[in-house]
Structure 1
């Protein structure tokens, strides 16, 4: 895959990448089903050399094949991600798990926020390979985990906890929907800064703005209160 193909792939929206994952999961299911049918068929042929199967044996074989295929079809295409599980996710897997969680929340967000979620998802895809060379003990890794597993979910769930009719009404001088959009904008910019810091090797720079960001994220925690 050349550089332009990779850039085009990174520009895909969150729903587009979720669709790709579902298609890939469906293809895996198809392969599992084919191999399962072949395995049952081979097992029945081998068993037929020792025990005559007869009509009953053929029906049992077909029943086992059907049950196995139905079980494979019933398997969920993609595991849902619980917000509390993000804090326990390994650092290298955290961007993808956060992206899956975000995609599941996207439909319930206002249009400007959904566009920011798309932008965050693209940047998470870029960030993922950069995290593979970090250990959990490094300050940069701790900042990334705090951003993706704490601040981002708190912002979104805080907004979701507000009743629908009140989300566009002013509360304590602030409008929840606008707070959500502003918070997502800050996080979007922060992921860009983190990715640039990791790309340049300047890991110390990742912790410089922590105090400012903590103040901004505090607004997210207040959304649900």
Structure 2
């Protein structure tokens, strides 16, 4: 016969399963949206390049001389080359993590999310779900920063967490030689420290988002704890 403890554990397990399902759904939608946006950008670049080539060919044929067979073949080759070039070229320039401090606040979460996504394959598989969860929360945070003063204490705390401490946590882990990442030190392996740090950041971003939604900027401005003591102190 199930005890109260068993029922409580089952309830907690069900709650966790629902949270994971919502996160998986949000991640799936986010990835699909990113793919669609990238396809639209590529198609737009191809259309613009091909349009310029055709317009140039028409202007040359009318103002200078008829293109002829060789000219038509050259235009066709240019169209193929431009299509392949822009189809294979990345739709967005890679994010330089060292430049995050210079990015406008409202664009910071999206830029950090893009950088974090490029780091995902090099991170241990158990934390990739956290990376996805952080990405979803960064997208939610983005529109809330549009009206936030760049120089306010609240903005400073957001920039510190999203633009400094999150990248530094990931880079600090990557500086650890691969054979040592599963070696315990002070009770935790680097893999475990990374997981704990990402979980803390995930929770902090969620709390920041909630405070911004409530307009509680004073509380947000005083959230000066984060990772320096607990994780950055163990980085060596």
Q: Does 1:30 align with 2:46?
A: no
Distance (Å, rounded) in 1 between the aligned partners of 2:169 and 2:23: 27
Where do 4+ consecutive residues of structure 1 move more than 4 Å?
8-11
1:143-158 alignment, distance < 5 Å: 143-158=157-172
1:109 positional shift: 2.0
Q: Does 1:94 align with 2:108?
A: yes
Q: Does 1:62 align with 2:79?
A: no
TM-score between the two structures when normalised by the length of structure 1: 0.84
Contact preservation (8 Å) 1:116, 1:185: yes
- Give the equivalent residue in structure 2 for 1:195: 209
- Given candidates 54, 58, 81, the residue that maps to 1:45 is 58
Contact preservation (8 Å) 2:157, 2:223: no
Q: Could you say what the CA RMSD is over the residues aligned between the two structures, in angstroms? A: 2.4
Structure 2's unaligned 5+ residue stretches are 1-21
Q: How many residues align?
A: 214
Contact preservation (8 Å) 1:95, 1:124: yes
1:80 positional shift: 1.7
Distance (Å, rounded) in 2 between the aligned partners of 1:49 and 1:108: 55
- Give the equivalent residue in structure 2 for 1:170: 184
1:18 positional shift: 4.3
Q: Does 1:220 align with 2:234?
A: no
Structure 1's unaligned 5+ residue stretches are 1-7
TM-score between the two structures when normalised by the length of structure 2: 0.80
1:16 positional shift: 5.9
1:126 positional shift: 0.8
Q: Does 1:78 align with 2:92?
A: yes
